[in-house]
Chains A and B, each alone.
Chain A
């Protein structure tokens, strides 16, 4: 293991995070606060409690996940895309580092940043609505697994994208809809039966369901299944990254 290299890349990426900290934190915190004002206070007050949980509290896990997913994707995709764009990636490719080390450091840094943001949003949420966390260990597990998985996905997007538009495309066109339709704002059984079935193909459903279970003990799908699906998604991303480095896809001619 080239630990010095892992540390160098991680610190480089975290320095970038520090430079952009204010905008990184301010915008998710503002948008989360807006969600609470609109969905929690304005609309939520007219929505009955869901299995004993107030609507404002109910949406907290989904909102944290929403931020975690989008932040993980954008951090990780930008982190690897930018050196490709500027050409500084030559140094990384010519360095005595294995792809495992590259992935650990880039994905680790991206996941760290999104976990920090997730925590901040959780704290923000606790200012607006009452919250309880029944299974804190599971909660942290889901947070960390999700941050890593979506940072990996972001890393893949950052390697696949060959312009800035594509870099935005996947988060905008796929991940945001999946998250909104993933049960951030409702339970799956509120949907018509056909859409309940469709929802089961949405990986985000499992993340949010498991994450919400760790808060309130409420779940759309069994928590074991949530964990298994998250792990499966993580494995798919890892396999894709392994293939990228094996073939040199978009990295080495």
Chain B
């Protein structure tokens, strides 16, 4: 199956001379949820803005559903829904008027039943006659999603959809995204929360300084990146590791005062048995510890690791 989005050699240099994207190649598969991760200023929004037609590419080509986004922009854009990062809404229009406007703007004939369904899904139906400026921040965020869904897009871009959103709403959004995926919509979301990518994505791409640093299936990435460390502080320092512990691949640290065990945090249930057997073996070897703690690599660590470690 050909990719729904095919980006090749995409570069963007702004008029100020700032190069936001450098030779980006990326294929998005039809029907997947793709998370684009990256620190602030990495080029996530620039990339999305080019795909949606808001920013003009300096070089390279992009095809959406087989349509070139410049030459065949009508067909390409009709497939796309965009939920921007900023809460940019009109103020005086009603919720109903603005979703009708969005649908018309994308060239779709009126369909009140569809709009009602979208508003109900986003718990905005009761608010349909309210002026937008009377809505809360969370409602405005949902309204932006409703506008994007009003014209039945096949590809949905969510630019940091859960930034500044409370936990309940975040859960609702994730559930909505899954329903959309079940309907065959391809979803590209940008985030700098790794939990979000972990929760939602099928594949993850990492962008930094305008370049795609890696693209990988989430499961593989989590295995690679999701390392956890267990640190045991010993009651008495050890000169060397007892042979019984060798098979766990643990290391001695702080001149024998600590034992560090690195393991895979995303391993399936049952594979965590490593910790249990380690503790049993410690007990059997007569090694006593007074305290323990675990650490997990954060997204920041992962970025630093990706940037330092052989790019």
Contact = CB atoms under 8 A, between A and B. Distances in A.
Interface stretch (A44-52, A59-67, A88-96, A137-145): A88-96
A97 interface: yes
Interface string A1-19: 0101101110110011001
Nearest to A12: B101
A19 B78 CA distance: 31
Given A4-B109, A7-B104, A91-B102, A253 B77 contact: no
A88 B84 CA distance: 10
A200 to B, nearest CB: 40
Interface string B125-168: 00000000000000000000001000000000000000000000
A95 B101 contact: no
Chain A interface, >50% SS class: helix
Contact of B82 (A2, A5, A94): A94
B56 A88 contact: no
12 contacts: A8-B101, A8-B102, A8-B103, A9-B105, A12-B97, A12-B101, A15-B97, A86-B90, A87-B86, A94-B77, A94-B80, A96-B106
Contacts of B104: 4-5, 7-9, 11
Nearest to B16: A253
A86 B100 CA distance: 19
Given A12-B101, A95-B106, A2 B86 contact: no
Contacts of A193: none
A248 interface: yes
Given A5-B105, A86-B90, 15 more contacts: A4-B105, A4-B106, A9-B101, A9-B104, A11-B101, A16-B92, A87-B84, A90-B82, A90-B88, A91-B82, A91-B102, A94-B82, A95-B105, A96-B107, A97-B105
B15 A4 contact: no
Contacts of B109: 4
The contact size tier of chain A is 20 to 34
A127 B49 CA distance: 55
Contact of B88 (A8, A88, A98, A252): A88
Nearest to A105: B105
Interface in A230-253: 248, 252-253
A88 B89 contact: yes
The contact size tier of chain B is 35 or more
B233 to A, nearest CB: 53
Contacts of A2: 74, 107
B52 interface: yes
B44 to A, nearest CB: 15
A93 B53 contact: yes
A99 B85 CA distance: 25
A4 B107 contact: yes
B55 interface: yes
A248 B105 contact: no
A96 B88 contact: no
A94 B88 contact: no
A8 B89 CA distance: 16
A92 to B, nearest CB: 7
Nearest to B87: A87
Contact of B54 (A11, A86, A93): A93
Interface centre among B80, B102, B104, B147 (most CB of A within 10 A): B104
Given A5-B104, A12-B101, A15-B93, A96 B73 contact: yes
A16 B55 CA distance: 28
Nearest to B84: A90
Interface in B56-82: 56, 73-78, 80, 82
Contacts of B82: 90-91, 94
Contacts of B103: 4, 8
B108 interface: yes
Given A8-B100, A15-B97, A253-B15, A94 B53 contact: yes
